[in-house]
Amino acid sequence: MFSLGRTQPVSREQRRRNRRRHHQETKRKPITKQCSATFPRNKWLLLPKETFQSLGLFFWMSFDRDSFTQRYIECENLQTWFGKTPLHLSPEAIAMRAEAKEKYFVNQSLRFAFKRIYNAFLAKKIVVKNETDPITLEAPNQAVYIYDLPNRCKFQFEAKELLRDFQTRLLTHEDLFPTPLFLRNPLTNTKLSLGQILSIFHQIKQFGHSHWTLECFVDAMYCYGIFSRDNQRKLRLNALDNLIKSHNGVPFLLDFMEAQHDIFKKEFDERTYRWALETNKCHSMERIRSWKSLCHTFYVIEITEEDYFEREKKQRRLYPLLAKLCTPCLELLHVKRTCKTH
């Protein structure tokens, strides 16, 4: 068939043939990874292989796996090789298990030694990011360093200020419910890793500073959930003290006052009490100090007393004093009027 300016149509079979030929021409050969090391997969192993040959074939069965822990667990599970239960191992099995454990610790200590040398080499090339403490704006006298090895830099802070920041974050709460926050770098506001936390705690202790929150956090194995669970009573009592003393506890105190007025069926003047709690002049007044003291005692009983009936019994002893405070606050109204006139 004759045509002008157009190519001949290609059949479906020809397209399939061309596609197959193109695929064969551009097909890449598999890349074979060549390593100079004798055992490329055993990056964990620093001692020569000959030192482990006496441990038997069971130790090298999973030689291609990455985790030494899996291999060590297989060494412990010797009943499949000796045909006995783990409680009745033969003397050969006990000796081989002890030898495996000993050489494992030798290999790991060698790894950690090289890691310390490598970290010391990186420490020489680390740059200090801040010359002054971001809180005091002065050069720190007791400098505590936070190392950031991937970025090859470190940050310096005053030991007391960094300890205070850690305390406030671990003692964070919402009303009486503790909600500890993650420890952070105060300059970059990034979460600290476990290695950084260990280094900081060690440096703070060297300067002689400590706090019960840090000690409890160490006892909780640096877990925020365990720290909050095991120290629930301490954290709630600390939250109660902060609410009674600070201005942030005004809504908490108002809720307590309103609840007591409802119990004794008295009218609650919320505006006057809110003004009195937010005004420094009224903090020394007898009524305000009595409300704060009774509120503190009421919730201390609720937090510390576990028996329900005993807790109710102790709280009911406060009702006569609370009933006296639920009377109209005439002295507060008088002070409020005098302040408005002046």
Planar angle of CA 75, 77, 80, nearest 5 degrees: 110
Q: Which of 55-64, 272-281, 304-313 has the lowest mean pLDDT?
A: 55-64
Q: Facing residues of 145 across strands?
A: 156
The number of angstroms, rounded, from the C-alpha of 250 to the middle of its chain's C-alpha atoms is 30
What is the rounded distance in angstroms from the CA atom of residue 196 to the CA atom of residue 109?
A: 21
User: In the structure encoding, which two tokens stand for residue 134, read together?
Assistant: 């971001």
Q: Provide the pLDDT for residue 7.
A: 52
Residue 21 has pLDDT above 70, yes or no: yes
Instruction: Identify which of 166, 248, 241 has the alpha carbon closest to the alpha carbon of residue 201.
Output: 166
Q: Provide the pLDDT for residue 207.
A: 92
CB half-sphere exposure, 73, CA atoms < 13 A: 5
Planar angle of CA 204, 215, 134, nearest 5 degrees: 35
Better-scored residue on pLDDT, 151 or 119:
151
Q: Provide the pLDDT for residue 8.
A: 59
Q: Give the mean model confidence (pLDDT) for residues 231-260.
A: 90
Q: Provide the pLDDT for residue 231.
A: 92
- Whether 39 contacts 45, CB under 8 Å: yes
Q: Given pLDDT bands bounded at 50, 70 and 90, which one contains residue 300?
A: very high
Alpha helix stretches (DSSP H) within 279-329: 286-304, 308-316, 319-325
- DSSP secondary structure code for residue 325 in this structure: H
Q: Given pLDDT bands bounded at 50, 70 and 90, which one contains residue 227?
A: very high
- What rounded mean pLDDT belongs to the chain? 78
What is the rounded distance in angstroms from the CA atom of residue 108 to the CA atom of residue 96?
A: 18
